[in-house]
Amino acid sequence: MEQQGVPQTPIPRPQVNIPTSVLKKFPKFDFKSNLPLIVGAVLVVMVGVGTGWLLSGSRGGATPTVPGAASGLKEAGIADEATFKDTADGVLEEGGVDGEGTHHLVRPGGASQNVYLTSTVIDLQSFVGKKVQVWGQTISAREAGWLMDVGKIKVIE
């Protein structure tokens, strides 16, 4: 394409020599010369895992959910009668009602007498299937007849 009065000259393109063999073989893995790198990598991973374990504070065993909470086979929770003044007893089972509660107490009188439970203090799962007494605070519910935040639990049979 020429503009008025200016002749266009072609731009020379450089010649590129492409080698016939593009693929090259990798050198063989020399275990002896790479041994310090392998040992170093393994040590770095081990130190990282050990440091994470120490910083997490985990020593293997169950720890209470909150400071001051007791945990055992027969009893768990905080003995704070001012906060957890409501009480109920029955057989602890898994499951709530329509998203309210994680567990429930089965009591005489049928399903209308169940107490639906949640806990911000203790792990209720370890008491499933046992007859227990719970202390807690009644909280508002939409579906459950009685919804309680459990602060203390004790096996009674």
DSSP state string for the chain: --BTTB---PPPPPP----S----PPPPP-HHHHHHHHHHHHHHHHHHHHHHHHHHT--SS---SSTT-EE-SSEEE---TTT--EEEEEEEEE--BTTB-SEEEE-TT-GGG-EEEE-SSS-GGGGTTSEEEEEEEEE--SS-SSEEEEEEEEE--
Task: Say yes or no: 80 and 150 in one domain.
Answer: yes
Please identify, among 61, 84, 107, the residue that sits at the C-terminal boundary of a domain.
Answer: 61
Task: Say yes or no: 118 and 93 in one domain.
Answer: yes
71-120 pLDDT per residue, tens: 567 878 887 777 778 888 888 888 888 878 888 888 888 878 888 888 87
Ramachandran angles phi, psi of 126, nearest 5°: -75, -5
**What is the residue range of 53's domain?**
30-61
Cα 132 from Cα 155, distance rounded (Å): 4
Task: Say yes or no: 124 and 57 in one domain.
Answer: no
- pTM score: 0.53
13 within domain boundaries? no
Task: Say yes or no: 100 and 147 in one domain.
Answer: yes
Q: What is the CATH classification number for the domain harbouring 102? A: 2.40.50
Task: Say yes or no: 74 and 132 in one domain.
Answer: yes
114 within domain boundaries? yes
Structural domains counted in the chain: 2
21 within domain boundaries? no
Tell me what the mean pLDDT of segment 130-138 comes to.
Answer: 87
Task: Say yes or no: 57 and 116 in one domain.
Answer: no
31-77 pLDDT per residue, tens: 888 899 999 999 999 999 999 888 876 555 544 455 555 556 787 88
Task: Say yes or no: 44 and 106 in one domain.
Answer: no
Task: Say yes or no: 75 and 137 in one domain.
Answer: yes
19 within domain boundaries? no
